[in-house]
Amino acid sequence: MTRSIDIVVNSFSDMWSELAKSGTHPPYMLIDCSGLKGGAAKLPRHVCHEFDCLFAGKLANELADVGPYLGRLKSFGTDIKTTVEKLLAIQVATLLLTDSVTNEKPGQGFAQLHRHFRKFNVVQGPNNKQLFFRYYDPRLIYNVLQALDFQQVTEFFGPLKALVVAETGGRTITIKAAELAGQAA
């Protein structure tokens, strides 16, 4: 049997420090507003340059208050770190890490991630029935990714290098797609 994902468990502070020293842009953040007390009205817009719902059209109108939102963090500053840590701790946010270095054009990575994740909002279930896929719920993503095969994980990760979620104990779990050469379990 092969594994599709690799994980690293770390404290939030250590993970955040490593990111800040890496030379990349601050990460993106995916927030599940259905778990956010107060819904979309309580999104921490002050910590992001860009914020947008991943639902569009009729879905955006009907479910915007409880839908998934993508944000691009402004910096690795202390106030942003505190907000991100709180959102991870209450398990409503997932950090999205890319390979983007500091010379990326503004908005380019955001638009790419926005397009990438929108295609997972609705999936085909048994008998071709359309189903909502709550991939953006950080309490579920680890188990969902474990159930996928290598090709599916690779497609899901797309432009991402890794995802970061929090355990109930407060430690962070960094989830990466397994390297093809190192798949043997």
Q: What is the pLDDT of residues 27-49, one digit of tens each?
A: 999 999 999 999 999 999 999 99
Q: Enumerate residues 6+ apart whose C-beta is below 8 A from 110.
A: 28, 49, 50, 52, 70, 72
Residue where the block lists tokens 């309490």: 139
What does the pLDDT look like over 66-114, one tens digit per residue? 999 999 999 999 999 999 999 999 999 999 998 765 445 555 689 999 9
Containing 130, the helix (H) or strand (E) segment is strand 130-132
The model scores a pTM over 0.95:
no
